[in-house]
Amino acid sequence: MFLFSLEHISKTFKNNRTSFTAVNDVTLMLPAKGLVSIVGKSGCGKSTLLNLLIGIEKPSKGRIYFINQSIVRWSKKQFSKYRLRDISMVYQHYNLLDDLPVIENIAIPLMIQGRSKKSSFNAAETMLQSFGMERLKSQIAGTLSGGEKQRVSIMRALITHPKAILCDEPTGALDEKNSKQIMDELKKISKEKLVLMVSHNMSLVRQYSDRNIEMNDGKIVNDKTINLDQTFVENEHQKIRYKHKWTFSLIKQLFKKNIFKGIFSFISLVVGFVSLFVGIGFISGSEKSQNEALKRNLATGCATISETSYYSIANSPLEFKKNIRPNTEVVDACLDSLEDYQILPNTNYFFSPYPSGYFKNNQIKNFEMVPLLNSFIEQNDVYPEIAGDFIGNSLTNVIVNNVFLKEINLSKKEALGSDFSISYETSITFYTNDEEKPFINDQFSYNLKLKIIDIVDEFSFMNSPKIYYSYDALSEFLKSETLTNISQYQGENISVLDYIEKSKDDSPESSYSSFIFLEDISRSEKLYEIINQTSQKKDAVQIESKAYTIGESYKQFISSFKDALVFFLMIGTIGVLFILGMISLSNFLENKKQSAILTCLGAKTNSISLIYLGYNSIITVLSFLVGFTISFALQNILNKIVHLKFGLTGLISIPIESFLGIKFGLVFTTLLGSLFCTFLFTILPIVAYKNFSISGELRDE
């Protein structure tokens, strides 16, 4: 029984236009031991024949038998076992793993078989001692001389005790002295195993061969047996338990070889993770932050309500708008679903929201006076600290917002207790229906010194400098102020507040509206809902709220920003994945030869994939951890900046505890998703190049 039987084997290589038959109808029987040489001119099919025997090329026609088993239709797993225990190869240019030490190069086939690193290294050390090369065991293989590399290649081929060793020009790159030493070793090995050698060195072939096979144009033209023992003894099959620990060293070497690429990948992924986490944190925190910001805007407590009508202008596409103060029935119908509010006279005509203001003899140009009820301050749990100071009937005790402090250029500490003055003057025309005296003019003015008793940190987006004063105190003040000329004409005391309440709904003194004062800030959402509904109608009651306008503008801004952010995150994620994919592809392409060597040593495809997957996964996990840590630090920094700049709290809130209803869902979802993408982008290049030419990668350089 022969070790190998080849029956009418042909191998044709094809490209788009031409084809080339490297092996042409070869029938050959090879024994279990002896040194058999294949000789012939370059391109005659010698190396292709070896590649067919080891299974890295498949025949176009014919059958190949190994101990009476056809290997032509074997699976990858069967070929892997075959290369691990039955057949090995020695190459002209060695094909060592140049970045690993000598002892690991020799031991790696045993580790691929599943033996422990210690056991494999012990066997390799014994092999080194038998070759007299134990001094080189820790030396990196790439630094050896040619003769040393070839000996290491032979030891690697022998370590699994295969039945056959295929040698492709084993002395082609060596000088005469080293060539003889290598041939002596091969001759010694051939006493117990088949050594099938391809060579151009006819002198060595004649000196060492037991059988010479000559090829020409893909055919065997001469086959001469010199001294060959045809006895065949079948050894027991070694048990193979595949393990993956041997890949760790190659993963480590991949990091060393690709340090700059690894750093680039790491930084790219960190940036990607930080962008993703901060983006999700913004999307998660913006709505809550917005609601909190609007609650912290004291202007929420005051709005105006008016009844609006539109009138067409004859012979014109234009129309004019008329506002009047609504009556009780209209207001009640509009605010039917609202609770905890009061409708009170709008005093803006007499107590202007935009009076003249002076601070230390310098005019304050931009600010707005906003009235609030004492009850609103009492029940507002957003700013409990200001209630005690604000309550009372003092019109001169006011609260200002942080935007106002910027206007007067003071710190909070400097502003508290500071005074500034406001003044205003207006005229009133009272129509009497008396022909002799059809109208009476009157004047109202005030000059008040206001004291800042508290400052509120409000959301500064589109917000104006505001001074909050007590409407209760203003009512008492306007009750005490008499319109002298009108009172004299009427024969009774007419206060400013009386005049406002009794004025016609379409007169300037009515301000064409009434105040809506909330007593509970929690009712603001319902009020805003009513404002939104009434704003959709043209001829209807109109409610205006500065806080609502700011809130809606901010919502639109955030909504647009979210859309842009989601798009940016998608592009960023695709970009990071593209980088990861390109790096995975680059690593695979740069190490195709290593993959080919490992395949010929018997490594399974999934084990080889694990090298690149392990490399990319480690980078992914490390960048995830660093990105996650940086994101939280950045979240705190950005939130502080935003709070100082805009008065917003918690704008970025990374949902660490719960995401998509899952506890720690963001961590698990992101990490698992990243590892899945890593797996995908690692495997895709390998799948895309699964049929790459192993023989081409191992071909002489």
The structural domains of the chain, with segments of one domain joined by +, span: 4-243, 257-293+556-698, 301-545
Q: Give me the chain's average pLDDT, please.
A: 86
Q: Looking at the domain covering 4-243, what would its CATH class be? A: alpha beta
pLDDT, tens digit (0-9, with 9 covering 90-100), for 543-571: 999 888 888 887 888 788 888 888 888 88
Contact 196, 167 (CB under 8 A): yes
Confidence at residue 308, expressed as pLDDT on a 0 to 100 scale: 87
Confidence at residue 554, expressed as pLDDT on a 0 to 100 scale: 79
**Burial class of 671 by CB neighbour count within 10 A (0 to 12, 13 to 18, 19+):** middle
Short-list 347, 621, 370, 387, CA closest to 509: 347
Confidence at residue 1, expressed as pLDDT on a 0 to 100 scale: 67
Q: Using the 8-state DSSP alphabet, how is residue 313 labeled?
A: P
Confidence at residue 176, expressed as pLDDT on a 0 to 100 scale: 86
**Number of helices and strands (H, E) in the chain?**
23, 24
Contact 110, 123 (CB under 8 A): yes
CA distance 49 to 53: 6
Query: What are the angstrom distances between the C-alpha of 581 and each of 277, 317, 510, 612, 646?
Result: 21, 62, 70, 11, 41
Which pTM value belongs to this model? 0.73
Contact 254, 615 (CB under 8 A): yes
pLDDT, tens digit (0-9, with 9 covering 90-100), for 155-182: 999 998 899 999 998 888 788 888 898 8
**Dihedral sign (CA 466, 467, 468, 470):** negative
At 271, list the tokens: 């940036």
Short-list 206, 281, 234, CA closest to 66: 234
In this predicted structure, the answer to whether residue 675 has a pLDDT above a threshold of 90 is no
In this predicted structure, the answer to whether residue 10 has a pLDDT above a threshold of 90 is yes
Confidence at residue 393, expressed as pLDDT on a 0 to 100 scale: 64
CA distance 300 to 520: 10
Confidence at residue 701, expressed as pLDDT on a 0 to 100 scale: 44
Short-list 43, 460, 420, 461, CA closest to 217: 43
pLDDT, tens digit (0-9, with 9 covering 90-100), for 35-85: 999 999 888 888 899 999 998 889 999 999 998 899 988 988 899 999 988
At 154, list the tokens: 């032979």
The larger pLDDT score, comparing residue 70 to residue 581, is at 70
Residue identified by tokens 């081929």 is 157
In this predicted structure, the answer to whether residue 112 has a pLDDT above a threshold of 80 is yes
3-state SS record for 189-253: HCCCCEEEEECCCHHHHHHHCCEEEEEECCEEEEEEECCCCCCCCCCCCCCCCCCCCCHHHHHHH
Q: What residues pair up with 321 in beta bridges, in sequence order?
A: 310
pLDDT band at 517 (very low <50, low <70, confident <90, very high): very high
Phi/psi at 421 (nearest 5 deg)?
Answer: -115, 150
